[in-house]
Amino acid sequence: MTELRDIKGIGPVTEKKLRAIGISKPRDLLTYYPSRYKENRLDNEQPWVLQETLMLLCEVTADPRLFFIRKNLTKMTVKTIIDGKPVDVHIFNRHFLKKMLRPKTKIVVTGSFKDNFRHFTSSDLILHKNFKAGMKPIYSVADLSEMSFHKWILRVLEDDAILPQERLPEALLVKRDLPLLQDTYHKIHAPRNKRDVAVAQKRIKYEEMLMFALRLHAQRIQTEKTEVPRKGYDIEKVRRFIATLPFELTDDQKQATNDIFRDLKKDRPMNRLLQGDVGSGKTVCAMLAAYATVTAGEQIAFMAPTEILARQHHDTFNEFLMPLGVAVRFLSASTPSEERKHITADLQSGKVDIVIGTHALLSEDVGFLHMGFAIIDEQHRFGVAQREQLREKGCHPDVLYLSATPIPRTLAIGLLGNIHVSSIMQLPKGRKPVRSFLVGYDAMDDVFSVMEKELSKNRQVFFVVPLIEESDAMNHMSIDAFEHVLKKHLPEGKSYAILHGRMPDDEKADVMARFKDNTTAVLLSTSVIEVGMDVSNATMMVIINADRFGLSQLHQMRGRVGRSGFPSKAYFVADDPEKARERLHVLIETSDGFKISEADLRMRGPGEVFGLSQAGIPRFMMASLLDDAALFKQAQSDAADVFSADERKAQVLKKQAMEHVDGFHLD
């Protein structure tokens, strides 16, 4: 059995369908795991409970009655005896079973007693002779018979020549109490009970984690071979600079800064993630590290995903560092060609100390005399290759990633490889929590009343909508539609501006500048303001169709207000507030970005939040860096043991890891 067509029941058409879901040979069927399981177990000896799902053996006592309710909807009522009690079983759209359900026929029904124990509403009905107790695997196979699919897998399991040989060292199997690989495939596809499923899933998850951990270990070995000169920064200049800051660093900022400076002193390149809530002060820590690098005679590249965010970082760095004689420049796709030529020339000659920009920094014409430090903000918005491309602009530079979407350490490792993590949990002194409300459209008059009060205090307001233009495909609010509503409620003498991603960069910059200096009172925008808009005078955020956005994204947008000592508010407007509350309640209950991020990751998964292909998250078939942290910790420990073991299988795993490791692309 070497080809799919060698399996009984698989012809050319079916083979094409199987190839479409990644199955090209018989062995591939073994690694197409069930999406869930259904436990077949008769509940006749259990007490009956209303509304509870039950699986019951019963005997038909009369020919079924069939009712045609409407087109494509039938209801069949079968009189039965269940444990000596008469019960009417009702089932929809199973009229084709009518001829088989003769008196004295034994059947198994799955469903529940809704209001009383005389009527049973069934979702499934099979003949007792076809009933098989135990765990039934359920596969997600569109366009294919699930029953046939399972039969094909069972046929492969019967062929010992096809089953792959054990690849994990025996010592690991014993240490972690794991089944052999062949036994694992039997337990996952033909389990006898829940324990079989749990044991098999543990083995599969562990092996996926171990393969990843081995590649991480191989990468660590490569990194440790790379020596770089320690940065000879002027600590006294750095201390004097800190003393001039118009605010005191929080304890978390001090700790994060110390972590970074310890890395700068090492003879190995830094690879650190600095994560913290919106407005927690990550940029200040990055700026201190950048200034220290300048005093060491090296250049810094600071890359951000949007021009809005990059410009904000440039303005902040320029404000604080220009008086110290530090040359800070900005570079993006919108930079005029003549200005760009001067900037790139000055970078290559060493006249520019810090360049802050967007993806434009990755262009071939951007080179450095000596780039020793790379800072990447909102790192998950860049692909793995892009992050590596920036690193290659220097010679093994130190790298600092910034993220306002806090994530567990295991997931950070999945995103960025061998990474150290610093977290800022505290908000700067004087920062007040943003009061948040979930409302429906019927409350918009009240929302506009609050807007008028804020504007009367000379404060500013954000309105965010999901679309630029109206769409037939999506029933969401657009800038075009909401602009008409906003005009009707805007107080006389107060102006508004529009901001979205399709506007020319110079026009966007002008809109942001006017809003920042309070020339414009209200900004109507898409989610383009999610990062990079730091307007301390803004005290109100209104997000329309809030249920369309992810939790982390909503929290980021809420973070555009409350950046001063002024009381601030955020309104999340949803079509159906009660329905939306199930998902958005965490935003109303807390302003802790770490809790919100974890809730978002659990609801949507890392792939949705970060984007699998962009972020570089490993593509596990069963394991999860979020949910299986303990297993990953075991795998990391075992990976080190594998590298030091002499046993043949350990040596094979080590060789594979060393061959496949690719600096920073580990998926």
* pLDDT tens for each residue of 236-266: 999 999 999 998 999 999 999 999 999 999 9
Domain boundaries, the chain: 42-130, 235-267+281-403, 435-590
Does CATH place domain 42-130 in 2.40.50.1010? yes
Domain covering 235-267+281-403: architecture: 3-Layer(aba) Sandwich (3.40)
In sequence order, the 6+-apart residues with CB closer than 8 A to the CB of 468 are 478, 479, 480, 500, 501, 502, 526
Model confidence at 609: pLDDT above 70: no
pLDDT digits over 346-355, tens only?
Answer: 999 999 999 9
**pLDDT of 663 above 60:** no
What is the spatial distance between Cα 189 and Cα 177, in angstroms, rounded to a whole number? 20
110-128: pLDDT as tens digits: 999 999 999 999 999 999 9
Q: In this predicted structure, what is the pLDDT of residue 224?
A: 78
What digits encode the pLDDT tens for the residues 292-328?
999 999 999 999 988 888 998 999 999 999 999 999 9
593-610 helix and 577-589 helix, angle to the nearest 10 degrees: 120
**CATH superfamily of this structure's domain 435-590:** P-loop containing nucleotide triphosphate hydrolases (3.40.50.300)
Work out the pLDDT band at 472, boundaries 50, 70, 90. Answer: low
Higher pLDDT, 657 or 320: 320
- Which residues face 421 on adjacent strands? 273
| Tokens found for residue 318 | 């320029």
pLDDT recorded at residue 615: 52
Q: Do 235-267+281-403 and 435-590 fold alike per CATH? A: yes
Contacts of 230 (CB under 8 A, 6+ apart): 264, 265, 266, 267
| Residue 629 amino acid letter | A
CB atoms under 10 Å from CB of 504, counted, come to 9
CA-to-CA dists, residue 354 to 300, 327, 350, 640, angstroms = 5, 6, 10, 39
Of 285, 286, 300, give the one whose Cα is nearest residue 361. Answer: 300
What tokens does 292 get? 């220290």
> Could you give the C-alpha distances from 52 to 93, 160, 266, 555, in angstroms and in order?
22, 42, 62, 39
Q: Which is nearest to 465 in space by CA: 448, 450, 452, 483?
A: 483
DSSP 428: P
- Look up residue 176 and give its DSSP letter: T
If you ran DSSP here, which 8-state letter would residue 424 be given? Answer: E
- How far apart (Å, rounded) are the C-alpha atoms in residues 517 and 456? 17
Measure the CA–CA gap between 265 and 229, rounded to whole angstroms. Answer: 9
Please state the separation of Cα 588 from the chain's center in Å.
21
User: In this structure, how many other beta carbons lie within 10 angstroms of the beta carbon of residue 35?
Assistant: 10
pLDDT, position 473:
61
- The H-assigned helical ranges of 268-329 are 282-295, 307-321
Length of the chain counted residue by residue: 667
Average model confidence (pLDDT) across the chain: 90
